[in-house]
Every structure is written in C-alpha cells, then in structure tokens.
Amino acid sequence: MRHAAKRIFSAAVLAACLMACSGGTTVNFPGTKDGARALLGEFMKPGADNKKLTMELRPTKDDYRAVFKESQTADRSEVFNDKLWSSGNAVVAPKEGQTELILASATTEDFRNYAGEYSAFPVTMISLADNHLKDGVTFYAFKFVKPGETSGMAFEGLTHINGKWRLFPKPWRFLEEK
C-alpha cells in the first residue's frame, strides 16, 4: 500500500512539473470559476508576461462559432476583434497596487433571466445573450483591485470554450460598429 501511495504521489509531482515546464499556459486551467480564478492569478504574479498570457487567450474561428448562434455573427465578431488582437494592444494586467481579484460569472441563460451574477456585467451583455449567444456559455467578468476597493481594471468576456480559456473583450462591441 505504501509503495502505491508513493507512485501516486510521484505521478502527481511529475504532472505538476510537466505543467509548470510547459510554460504555465493559461489554457490549462479547468473551465470552472475556481479555474478562472487560478488562471487570472497568473496575471497577478510578479514578473508575469501579461502580454504573452493575454495572447494565449486569443479566440480561434472555431471558438467564435462555439459562442455565437449564427456563423455570420461569429465571423463579424472575429473580424472586429482581430484588429485588437493584431494591434498588440490586447493586454490583461493589473495596475500597480491592484493585488486582489473580483470575479463574477453568468451564463447566457442568466443574462436572459436576470439571474445569478449577471448584474456584475455591463447591461449590453443581456441584449447580446438574447440575440446572439448560444445557450450554455458561461462568461466571466473580473477586476483587478487594490485591497479594500471595488473599482479597478475591469474586463469582461472570459470564457472556457472548446476545452480552452478564451477572451472575447467587450463581446458586444462589434455590434456598435457602423
């Protein structure tokens, strides 16, 4: 029995080392609120390469199609957001002194039914969910804040889709483009 426990422990240590040696990629965290919290914790570590971490969250064509009901809407969102992703300006990062995280989650159904933590998101998410998002998608809104504060660097559109974490920054914004 002791020998089996040692093997299990060794396998767990090896798995942890392999994950750490793979660059600590942001997409390896489980698709849960705890997984989102752990993933966002990577952005708060001293010396974190936030630009690299952010770029790992860039959605693919398949990710857009997994989030949006219609392929034309998915394509429109992808084209709009490609400008941000390609510009190099897409960087998720706390400002100096922002050492705490506020995290909320809501599903497309929560937005449609005014349920759960939907109110932590901009109201435009309700319209987006009503008209454009597929059922069963969970989005996360988060803020990096200074201790004791409730406002700070705010982001919306983090989701776990197709087995990976992806960021759809302000996912409604493409609808505002004329």
For 97-120, write each residue's pLDDT tens digit: 999 999 999 999 999 999 999 999
Q: Which residues does 147 contact at the CB level (< 8 Å), separation at least 6?
A: 99, 100
For 47-95, write each residue's pLDDT tens digit: 999 999 999 999 999 999 999 999 999 999 999 999 999 998 889 999 9
What is residue 147's predicted lDDT score, i.e. its pLDDT? 96
What is residue 172's predicted lDDT score, i.e. its pLDDT? 86
For 19-57, write each residue's pLDDT tens digit: 333 344 555 899 999 999 999 999 999 999 999 999 999
Rounded distance, CA 61 to CA 131, Å? 20
* CB burial of residue 85 (10 Å; 0-12, 13-18, 19+): middle
Average pLDDT over residues 140-150: 96
